[in-house]
A and B are shown apart, each in its own frame.
Chain A
Amino acid sequence: MGSRLKLFLPLILFAIMAVFLFRGLSLDPQAMPSALIDQPLPEFTLPVLGEDRLLKRDELVGEVALLNVWATWCSSCRVEHPYLLQIAASGVPVYGINYKDDDAAAGRWLAELGNPYRANIADREGSLGLDLGVYGAPETYLVDARGVVRYRHVGVVDERVWQTILQPLYQQLNAQGSGG
Chain B
Amino acid sequence: MHPVRKQRLLIVLFVVLFSSAAAGLVMYALSGNINLFFPPADIAQGKAPVGQPIRVGGMVVADSVQRSDNSLAVTFELTDYTANVSVVYEGILPDLFGEGQGAVAAGRLNEQGVLVATEVLAKHDENYMPPEVADALEQSGFDHKGNAR
Contacts and interface: CB of A to CB of B under 8 A. Distances in A.
| A adjacent to B, CB under 8 Å | yes
B15 interface: no
Interface string B89-109: 000000010111110000000
Contacts of B132: 29
Interface string A95-126: 00001100000000000000000000000000
A71 B100 contact: yes
B128 A136 contact: yes
Interface residues of B, number: 26
Interface string B49-85: 0000000000100100000000000000000010000
Interface stretch (B25-33, B111-119, B135-143): B135-143
A154 B102 CA distance: 13
Contact of A75 (B125, B134, B135, B144): B125
A35 B142 contact: yes
B128 A155 contact: yes
A135 interface: yes
A13 interface: no
A136 B129 contact: yes
Interface residues of A, number: 23
Given A74-B100, A135-B59, A29 B134 contact: yes
Contacts of B100: 71, 73-74, 99-100, 136-137
A32 B134 contact: yes
A133 interface: yes
A131 B147 CA distance: 12
SS class, residues of chain A in contact with chain B: loop
Given A29-B134, A71-B100, A133 B141 contact: yes
A75 B148 CA distance: 30
Contacts of A133: 141, 144-145
A79 interface: yes
Contact of A76 (B62, B125, B137): B125
Contacts of B141: 32, 35, 133, 135
B99 A156 contact: no
A135 B134 contact: yes
Interface of B: 59, 62, 81, 96, 98-102, 124-129, 131-132, 134-135, 137-138, 141-142, 144-145, 148
Ordered nearest first, which 9 A-B pairs have the shortest CB separation?
A29-B131, A155-B128, A35-B145, A135-B137, A133-B141, A32-B138, A76-B125, A73-B100, A100-B62
17 contacts: A29-B131, A30-B127, A32-B138, A33-B138, A35-B145, A71-B100, A73-B100, A74-B100, A75-B124, A133-B141, A135-B59, A135-B134, A135-B137, A135-B138, A136-B100, A136-B128, A137-B100
Given A30-B134, A100-B62, A136-B124, 11 more contacts: A29-B131, A30-B131, A32-B138, A35-B142, A71-B100, A73-B98, A73-B99, A73-B101, A74-B101, A130-B81, A135-B81
